[in-house]
A = this chain, B = another copy of it.
Amino acid sequence: MDADKTADVAMRAYWASDPTDVSINAICERAGVSKPALYREFGSEDGLMRAVLDRYAVQVLSELFEILQPQTPLDQALTALIHFASVDPKMETGCVFFKMRAGKHRLGPKTREGVNAVDAGAVAAFTAYLNARREAGDWTSTQALETVARYLVEQIGLALMQRAGGQDPAQIKDTLTMSFSVVHGQ
């Protein structure tokens, strides 16, 4: 029983469609694993989803957080974020995390906890980054750090959900660029 491969198959399936639309049966089939084997490894559907979310966070979301290096100028970071969320072919079918967050009420307790943790982590990362840019004199707004951090996270989430819905990337980019224009570097 290859737990790594199974989690990977589940991740891709959740990513391509939607976590709540992919059944355990379908995952077992695609992974070539029996159902009891999967349950022995992950305990429950909730356990599997949580494992997949953790995996996704380190394998994919890390790429997003790497944009937020303290020394990266604000404008450059915003541009990179726009590209990541609205153009990057890797995110063509949206984002596992934001899909899970959108259907939070359908998740089990472990997965929901994981979603909350990632959410809080994202806001914290953006807050830290904005704080660094403020100290660097790159961002002169007087708005509360966390409010703007939340704003950016929500806008990125919106763009990624639009991508999952198959909307035109050019339109998504327009919307995201417009929303980011309230946060200027300089």
Contact = CB atoms under 8 A, between A and B. Distances in A.
A4 interface: no
Interface residues of A, number: 26
Q: How many copies does the complex hold?
A: 2
A68 B147 CA distance: 28
A171 interface: yes
Interface stretch (A54-62, A80-88, A173-181): A173-181
A40 interface: no
Contacts of A113: none
Interface string A44-66: 00000000000000000000000
Nearest 9 A-B pairs (CB), nearest first? A158-B158, A151-B178, A151-B175, A179-B179, A147-B174, A182-B182, A181-B182, A154-B175, A178-B182
